[in-house]
């Protein structure tokens, strides 16, 4: 457990704003990121969430100064730290950032304290001051008693906490995380992400947190930026993102419910490969044409087939400790996983009731994830 119980005695620990303007990156002429605009407020934590290859790490590395942008600029506080137009590129060590990587990147030949001390040595901080700040940083991650140990004698979670202490010891304004918990098991991740969030907030740091795990992103971030197709497709607080995804792709990436491509006309949805016609009570305000029907999981309930908007058969019911998750193959051609209280027989006919005022229709123009 981390212990954000005391702040190191320094006035410097306060977050700075981070912004990107028209930021792009190409590798070998192939655009990976195209024109990203992003504004992060001082002390705000933003998670970059997206599937593998969506450019999360590339964006983070441009904020860090480990990569030069092909287009656009990055600012930290009032300083432009990278500008493709002018060729300006401030190196990472002059950006007031701390970084935590997936693989911890600790030096095995140094003690825990030696690892945490290293950035201060590079900055020429004197011995006494350095020792005090290393102690403070290790106390903050609850590893004060491990200062003289070798990193190789620590667990993965402890090693990542050493990396976290090393990232904050220089009293940065911004802390950058690149999938820091990916090598840890689920239970430890769930705990550590909460602890990291508490520590980053208690220090007032601005944070950028790369992950492909939406649970982790939701736990740590004030806002989550969903990345796809070379940019940010939606950025919003986690609760808002779940309640109001702006495209079928975001809803699908976040696994928010049933997303069924179809065609809407006169308030009725038809589906490819199915004779089903689904009448929608509100008609989605007269929209017509191809698109995606989005039915959030919370708007769907398993009922008797006779009483239902949708019908289907049970693929399987799986016990999940607090109840069952039942996969249903709908007659309109799509599968959906829904919670229920009892094990349902494989192949049993079921109905699915829809709370229509929570249903959405996304016309087929949205960006692809």
Ligand X SMILES: Nc1ncnc2c1ncn2[C@@H]1O[C@H](COP(=O)(O)OP(=O)(O)OP(=O)(O)O)[C@@H](O)[C@H]1O
Give the one residue of 5, 11, 52, 357 binding ligand X; rule: CB under 6 A. Answer: 52
**CB closer to ligand X out of 53 and 204:** 53
Q: Strands 88-89 and 97-101: what pairing?
A: unpaired
Rule CB under 6 A: is residue 53 a binding residue for ligand X? yes
C-alpha 83/C-alpha 56 separation (Å) is 19
C-alpha 335/C-alpha 355 separation (Å) is 18
Least distance from ligand X to the Cβ atom of residue 190, Å: 20
Rule CB under 6 A: is residue 55 a binding residue for ligand X? yes
- 204-223 binders of ligand X (CB under 6 A): 212
Q: How far is CA 293 from CA 77, 216, 224, 269, 367, in A?
A: 42, 27, 24, 8, 16
Q: Are 44 and 220 in contact (CB under 8 A)?
A: no
Q: Are 225 and 46 in contact (CB under 8 A)?
A: yes
Q: At 108, is the secondary structure helix, strand, or coil?
A: coil
Rule CB under 6 A: is residue 102 a binding residue for ligand X? no
Q: Are 256 and 245 in contact (CB under 8 A)?
A: yes
Rule CB under 6 A: is residue 280 a binding residue for ligand X? no
C-alpha 318/C-alpha 16 separation (Å) is 47
Give the one residue of 54, 159, 160, 206 binding ligand X; rule: CB under 6 A. Answer: 54
Rule CB under 6 A: is residue 231 a binding residue for ligand X? no
C-alpha 40/C-alpha 206 separation (Å) is 8
Rule CB under 6 A: is residue 107 a binding residue for ligand X? no
- Scanning 8-16, 50-58, 75-83, 128-136 for contacts with ligand X by CB under 6 A, the matching segment is 50-58
**CB closer to ligand X out of 53 and 289:** 53
Give the one residue of 38, 56, 84, 249 binding ligand X; rule: CB under 6 A. Answer: 56
Least distance from ligand X to the Cβ atom of residue 241, Å: 18
- Scanning 10-18, 52-60, 192-200, 327-335 for contacts with ligand X by CB under 6 A, the matching segment is 52-60
- Scanning 13-21, 54-62, 90-98, 183-191 for contacts with ligand X by CB under 6 A, the matching segment is 54-62
Q: How far is CA 336 from CA 27, 155, 207, 314, 315, in A?
A: 39, 39, 35, 10, 10
Which residue has tokens 């944070």?
Answer: 207
Binding site for ligand X (CB under 6 A): 27, 32, 50, 52-58, 212
């Amino acid at each position: 457990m981390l212990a954000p119980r005391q702040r190191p005695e320094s006035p410097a620990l306060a977050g700075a704003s981070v912004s990107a303007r028209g930021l792009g990156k190409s590798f070998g002429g192939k655009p990976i990121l195209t024109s990203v605009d992003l504004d992060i407020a001082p002390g705000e934590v933003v998670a970059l969430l997206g599937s593998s290859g969506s450019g999360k790490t590339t964006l983070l590395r441009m904020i860090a100064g480990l990569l030069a942008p092909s287009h656009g600029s990055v600012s930290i506080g009032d300083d432009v730290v990278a500008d493709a137009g002018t060729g300006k590129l401030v190196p990472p060590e002059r950006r007031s950032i701390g970084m935590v990587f997936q693989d911890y990147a600790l030096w095995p030949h140094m003690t825990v304290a030696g690892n945490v001390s290293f950035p201060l040595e590079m900055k020429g901080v004197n011995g006494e001051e350095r020792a005090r700040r290393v102690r403070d940083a290790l106390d903050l991650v609850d590893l004060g008693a491990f200062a003289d140990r070798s990193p190789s004698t620590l667990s993965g979670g402890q090693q990542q906490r050493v990396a976290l202490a090393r990232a904050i010891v220089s009293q940065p304004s911004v802390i950058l995380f690149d999938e820091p918990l990916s090598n840890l098991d689920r239970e430890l991740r769930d705990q550590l992400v909460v602890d990291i969030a508490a520590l980053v907030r208690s220090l007032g740091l601005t944070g950028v947190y790369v992950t492909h795990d939406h649970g982790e992103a939701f736990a740590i971030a004030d806002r989550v930026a969903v990345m796809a197709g070379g940019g940010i497709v939606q950025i919003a607080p986690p609760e808002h993102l779940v309640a109001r995804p702006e495209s079928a792709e975001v809803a699908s990436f976040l696994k928010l419910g049933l997303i069924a491509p179809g065609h809407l006309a006169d308030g009725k949805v038809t589906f490819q490969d199915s004779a089903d016609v689904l009448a929608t009570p509100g008609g989605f305000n007269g929209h017509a044409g191809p698109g995606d029907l989005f039915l959030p999981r919370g708007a769907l309930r398993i009922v008797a087939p006779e009483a239902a908007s949708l019908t289907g058969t049970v693929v399987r019911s799986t016990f999940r400790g607090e109840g069952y998750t039942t996969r249903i193959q709908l007659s309109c051609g799509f599968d959906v996983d829904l919670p229920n209280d009892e094990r349902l027989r494989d192949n049993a006919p079921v109905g699915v009731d829809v709370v229509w005022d929570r249903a959405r229709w996304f016309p087929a123009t949205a960006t692809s994830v």
